[in-house]
Amino acid sequence: MRVLMIAPPGAGKGTQGALIAAHFDIPHIATGDLLRDHVARETDLGLAVKQHLDRGELVPDEIVLDMVRDAFAAARDAGGGYVLDGIPRNLRQARATYEIALELEMTANVALHLKVEADELVRRLLARAKLERRADDTEEVIRHRLAVYREVTHPIVEWYAERGILVSVEAMRPAEQVGRELLTALEVMRPLVDHVPEEARVAVDLTSLGAAFGASPPEKG
């Protein structure tokens, strides 16, 4: 399986990505971890990353995409599967990632979209900020981040839907229930993804299936 994770902050993308990677025994390519690893190993890419971070700058897309290229190549040599988490964050990155994957014959089978209502995301992120003592993560700041996410990410979701690889899942429930639904859906899809051409695929919306997997409203807190 080759899976892209698409989700707003607080939706559980990292948790579910790690679960999927462990279940299918495939690499979990988390771009944040890649950046830290390259910096720690002082690779050429890592030194370039550190220069930008030391200047308080964002790491340019080109550097992140070079890291993703290396990770895709390693995943191909290891068996061909992956879970990509942390990129794309905009349509330009999505198209660039696709071009890299196409060149390496590692295009995604599934773009997994975790959907959570804004109020629940705010609740989760405020709880996380309190736990991590991050006073700068106020409700106003969080809602702004979510608004930017919706504006920037919506075109990505539409693009993956047009390609027929989008799978949308309602992630309002506890993580273990969401994970159970994801793994069930991906296991059903696994024998099919390499045999159905991309142009014949259609987007899949599983958000109405929550009750079948033990859906329950989020806890108040």
Contact 46/36 with Cβ under 8 angstroms? no
- Identify the domain containing residue 90 by its residue range: 2-30+81-209
Diameter over CA atoms, the chain: 50
- Domain holding 12: CATH number? 3.40.50.300
DSSP 109-178: SEEEEEE--HHHHHHHHHHHHHHTT-TT--HHHHHHHHHHHHHHHHHHHHHHHHHT-EEEEE--S-HHHH
219 located within any domain: no
What the block records as the tokens of 56 is: 């308080």
CA 130 vs CA 15, 127, 139, 146: distances in Å: 19, 5, 12, 18
CA distance from start to end of the chain: 36
CA-to-CA separations, 27 to 42, 65, 77, 133, 157, in angstroms, rounded = 22, 17, 11, 31, 23
Domain presence at residue 172: yes
pTM for the whole structure? 0.83
The total number of structural domains in the chain stands at: 1
Q: Confirm if 84 and 3 have CB atoms less than 8 A apart.
A: yes
Q: In tens digits, what is the pLDDT along the chain, a chain of 221 residues?
A: 999 999 998 999 999 999 999 999 999 999 989 999 999 999 998 999 899 888 878 788 999 999 999 999 999 999 999 999 999 989 999 999 999 999 999 999 999 999 999 999 999 999 998 888 877 788 999 999 899 888 988 889 999 999 889 999 999 989 999 999 999 999 988 887 776 666 667 778 877 544 333 344 444 44
* 55 located within any domain: no
Judge whether 75 lies within some domain: no
